[in-house]
Structure 1
Amino acid sequence: MDEARLEHSSPIRHRVRVTLKPLPCRPSPERDELLSSWIGRLAKANHCSAEELCGYLGLGQGRVPEFASDLRVVNWVQLCAALQWSPDEVAAMTLPDAVHYAVRYMSLHDFQYCPGCVEQTPGIVLRHWRFAWSLICETCGRTLAARRRSEAVSDRLLARGARGAKILKTAVASNDLKRLRRMDLTLYVVSMLGVGHSASAISANERERLIALAAVGIGMTRPLLGVALILRGNDRVVRELRRVFPRHRKVIERVRGLSQDLDRRLPGRREAEHTPKKETYEASRPGGSESALKAARQAISELGPDANRQALLVRADAIWRRSSGVKS
Structure 2
Amino acid sequence: MDEARLEHSSPAGRHVRVTLKALPRRPHPARDELLASWIGRLAKANHCSAEELCGYLGLGQGRVPEHASDLRVADWVRLCAALQRTQDEITAMTLPDKMQHSVRCVSPHDFQYCPVCVERTPDIVLRHWRFAWSMTCEICGQTLATKRPAEAVSDRLLARAACGAQALKSAVATNDLRRLRRMDLTLHVVSMLDVGRSASVISANERERLMALAAIGVGMTRPLLGAAIILRGNDRAVRELRRVFPRHRRVIERIRRLSQDLDRRLPDRPEADHAPKQETCETSRQGGSERALQAARQAISELGPDANRQALLTRADAIWRLLSSVKS
TM range (shorter): 0.7 to 0.9
Letter in 2 for 1:237: A
- Deviation string 1:224-278 (CA, Å, 9 cap, x unpaired) is 1122223223322211111122232121111011122335527779979xxxxxx
- Counting strand residues as a fraction of each chain, which structure ranks higher? 2
1:319 is matched with: none
Q: Distance in 1 between matches of 2:226 and 2:138?
A: 31
**Cα offset for 1:18?**
4.8
Task: Give the ranges of 4+ consecutive aligned residues of structure 1 lying more than 6 Å apart after TM superposition.
Answer: 2-7, 266-272
Q: Distance in 1 between matches of 2:169 and 2:270?
A: 37
Written as runs of structure 1 = structure 2, the 5 A alignment for 1:1-328 is 1=1, 18-196=18-196, 200-263=200-263, 265=266, 300-302=307-309, 311=316
Q: Which moved more, 1:88-97 or 1:237-246?
A: 237-246
Q: Is the 1:219–1:227 contact (alpha carbons within 8 Å) kept by the matching residues of 2? A: no
Q: Distance in 2 between matches of 1:267 and 1:210?
A: 35
How many residues are aligned here?
Answer: 282
Letter in 1 for 2:136: I
Q: Is the 1:201–1:213 contact (alpha carbons within 8 Å) kept by the matching residues of 2? A: yes
Q: Is the 1:186–1:216 contact (alpha carbons within 8 Å) kept by the matching residues of 2? A: yes
**Cα offset for 1:194?**
1.7
Q: Distance in 2 between matches of 1:308 and 1:29?
A: 53
Q: Distance in 1 between matches of 2:131 and 2:144?
A: 12
SS in structure 1 of the partner of residue 237 of structure 2: helix
2:298 is matched with: none
Q: Distance in 2 between matches of 1:269 and 1:32?
A: 59
Letter in 2 for 1:311: A
SS in structure 2 of the partner of residue 255 of structure 1: helix
SS in structure 2 of the partner of residue 221 of structure 1: coil
CA 16–118 in structure 1, closer or farther in 2 if over 3 Å, else same: farther
CA 72–251 in structure 1, closer or farther in 2 if over 3 Å, else same: same
Q: Is the 1:188–1:198 contact (alpha carbons within 8 Å) kept by the matching residues of 2? A: no
1:279 is matched with: none
Letter in 2 for 1:35: L
CA 39–269 in structure 1, closer or farther in 2 if over 3 Å, else same: farther
CA 29–257 in structure 1, closer or farther in 2 if over 3 Å, else same: same
Q: Distance in 1 between matches of 2:191 and 2:206?
A: 16
**Cα offset for 1:133?**
0.3
CA 234–79 in structure 1, closer or farther in 2 if over 3 Å, else same: same
Letter in 2 for 1:65: P
CA RMSD of aligned residues (A): 3.0
Task: In structure 1, list runs of 5 or more residues that go unmatched.
Answer: 8-14, 273-295, 316-328
CA 302–20 in structure 1, closer or farther in 2 if over 3 Å, else same: same
Task: In structure 2, list runs of 5 or more residues that go unmatched.
Answer: 8-14, 274-302, 321-328
**Cα offset for 1:139?**
0.4
Letter in 2 for 1:227: A
SS in structure 2 of the partner of residue 175 of structure 1: coil
Q: Distance in 2 between matches of 1:261 and 1:269?
A: 18
**Cα offset for 1:310?**
5.0
Letter in 1 for 2:316: A
